[in-house]
A and B are shown apart, each in its own frame.
Chain A
């Protein structure tokens, strides 16, 4: 049984320069179950039972997505709203996800420097993603620092994509092997790394 479940959310894959190659890499790593949410649910009619079974069957969950307005694309939010039910993920008898880990792998258009109090985005990425972090906390999952590529719109031209894909593959292989992926240092509270890259 593969231990890693990757949920990929990208509504315009033919224009994608970062996430799509990352998805392709993930598909080639043994032990990673890859799900293209927009392909499975083109009308957003998410099959709750199926998704909950998938979650139960895997130990580590990855969300792979381009950052849209400091959050996930719509289908991944829909997925959260429907799948992380009371009685399954939290509340009375909701312990299905306890002890599993969650990793956000994403591409962001803004530069890394923009994601801080002085930059035009005014908040760090980790801080902006705090709703997801808190969700993970409430449903009893370990939240891993996000794995992000900044300045994604110029990554190909600047030759930053290939090295990023190599790091990505290493992260995936580590997760499959049950290790904590390679950590980068970041700002914020001690023990709270900003990102994995």
Chain B
């Protein structure tokens, strides 16, 4: 027990010390974890042989990550990716396998070994690449999307590769001491095997679609957060177990489950629940990669390992560049795609171990090659830095020097996020002579804007340093229009705390986010879809035969209603957020709002006091007789005067 505590403490301490430092130096968290691993393993010798077993455990972080990635993608988006997935991904695996195998043949390896090596090195590191993409906000760039397609295809390709490897065995398979895998498909004939596999996939899809809702609903109603956490982990672990049983990649299975759940109402809850586990486990995984580096071997064969690692990376990068050309990735995207995927990956470790078990090559070569894989992973953060610091500025067509954090224009209005939403705000302001500073962490967007001669800057808005450079101290206003829901709230809170003089206008994703932004201190919040939806509703009324002016009034009445109940709903939301069991109250309030709205729609001002509807109510019938009689009664008095 004490030992476990000590070890856990060492791992966590290393991470806590190294990662913030790496992040501050702009090296990214992955490199921080890797260095932390090297420090506690080979350098200080604080941890030793157990890294192997910890690594198996930590690989679950990759599984969780793919689940989260799946949550971001619904089935439709996945279907739209199919060409890229098969084209880019398939070609990458085939060409890289061929190229690496060719190199191995030149180095006098038998063809079976060469082919095995080709397949092993065709894999890239899903963990490092996706983590870096997310951290640097590159996931939605063209290059990032291409990279993701390739990684996903590789995860799928592992399955046939595991089937092919045994066929390449030269000698008798070594006795595999560590082989204790249970399997549902061992010893089944091919067709039955396929049926079981398909059945498992079907189980994940249908289970995700039809069973999760009652399950999570049941758990959520209990109002206990930890049970929800348990349920989420249970689901992911269960799927991983099922996939392992039928010989599929657990990461792939959970990815699929994520895609199925992408449209469910529990999506955000699941995301925020799983996120911390993913982060820690991935971090642990990177640490074990660092700790697993065999320094003695590395030093004795340093030149060879480095040479091989660099050779593999160059080959992979060249293949990727070729693919980028074929698939018309241009400019910075091309380089991002090529550099980010040039390393060997964690599946490489798995396949190496498996190949050794199958007796394709000996443990000496295996050990050497796992050093090569580890080293190439170690070098990857460097490539990301190369991309950010060297390639991006060069590729940028604009003549002025572009750095992720130099802003040469300070304006009274800072616009964070220049996607579909921020762009319109920006255009309106600029057209009226307002100077704006535009920030976005998605480089492709910034690049596009620069092409149309609009000044915009690349960088992560949540970074206080960047806000400072953008001139937040002297800014009058900050417009928050970034996609990242939590990020937007955090940004508003940060600016409200440190720069109270800045007016903050923020865009909300939905009602909950609206309240969260309000609470964080935004001066004015607009729901991103409210007004467009309202206009569409009005258009629908008109097309159903309502008079356009009447429809306009109905729209106005709806906004007024919303306003009238805003503070009440906000208070309720605050309560709900603090205790899940208040959800009932919030729902009741919402139903009340709907009822009030309905009532308003049928009411004239005369009957009750709804405003803005039927303000043009004619006076009651016969009112003129009344007025005339009043006039009559006035007259005699006038005569008396």
CB-CB under 8 A from A90, the residues of chain B are 619, 627
A91 touches B626 (CB 8 A): yes
The CA-CA distance from A82 to B627 in the complex, in Å, is: 20
The CA-CA distance from A138 to B606 in the complex, in Å, is: 20
The residues in B between 578 and 636 inclusive whose CB is less than 8 angstroms from any CB of A are: 605-606, 609, 611-612, 615-617, 619-620, 623, 626-627
Interface size on B, residues (CB 8 A): 14
B619 touches A91 (CB 8 A): yes
B556 touches A45 (CB 8 A): yes
A49 touches B611 (CB 8 A): yes
The residues in A between 117 and 143 inclusive whose CB is less than 8 angstroms from any CB of B are: 138
A162 on the B face (CB < 8 A): no
Supply 29 A–B pairs (Cβ within 8 Å), ascending by A.
A45-B612, A46-B615, A47-B611, A47-B612, A48-B605, A48-B612, A48-B615, A49-B609, A49-B611, A81-B616, A82-B615, A82-B616, A85-B605, A85-B615, A86-B606, A86-B617, A86-B619, A86-B620, A86-B623, A87-B606, A90-B619, A91-B619, A91-B620, A91-B623, A91-B627, A92-B620, A92-B623, A92-B626, A138-B627
CB-CB under 8 A from B611, the residues of chain A are 47-49
- Please tell me the size bucket of the interface on A: 10 to 19
CB-CB under 8 A from B619, the residues of chain A are 86, 90-91
Given A91-B626, A92-B623, 12 more pairs with CB closer than 8 A: A45-B556, A47-B611, A48-B615, A49-B609, A82-B615, A82-B616, A86-B606, A86-B623, A90-B619, A91-B619, A92-B620, A138-B627
- How many Å from the CB of A5 to the closest CB on chain B? 20
The CA-CA distance from A87 to B604 in the complex, in Å, is: 13
- How many Å from the CB of A98 to the closest CB on chain B? 12
Residues of chain A whose beta carbon lies under 8 Å from any beta carbon of chain B = 45-49, 81-82, 85-87, 90-92, 138
Residues of chain B whose beta carbon lies under 8 Å from any beta carbon of chain A = 556, 605-606, 609, 611-612, 615-617, 619-620, 623, 626-627
The CA-CA distance from A47 to B613 in the complex, in Å, is: 10
- How many Å from the CB of B354 to the closest CB on chain A? 69
Which residue of B609, B615, B620 has the most chain A CB atoms within 10 A of its CB atom? B615
The CA-CA distance from A103 to B606 in the complex, in Å, is: 29
- How many Å from the CB of A43 to the closest CB on chain B? 8
CB-CB under 8 A from A49, the residues of chain B are 609, 611
The CA-CA distance from A49 to B608 in the complex, in Å, is: 12
- How many Å from the CB of A148 to the closest CB on chain B? 30
CB-CB under 8 A from A82, the residues of chain B are 615-616
Look across to chain B and name the residue whose beta carbon is closest to the beta carbon of A87: B606
The CA-CA distance from A138 to B609 in the complex, in Å, is: 24
Which residue of B605, B609, B617 has the most chain A CB atoms within 10 A of its CB atom? B605
CB-CB under 8 A from B616, the residues of chain A are 81-82
**5 A-B pairs with least C-beta separation:** A86-B619, A82-B615, A48-B611, A91-B623, A49-B611
CB-CB under 8 A from A47, the residues of chain B are 611-612
The CA-CA distance from A81 to B615 in the complex, in Å, is: 8
The CA-CA distance from A86 to B620 in the complex, in Å, is: 8
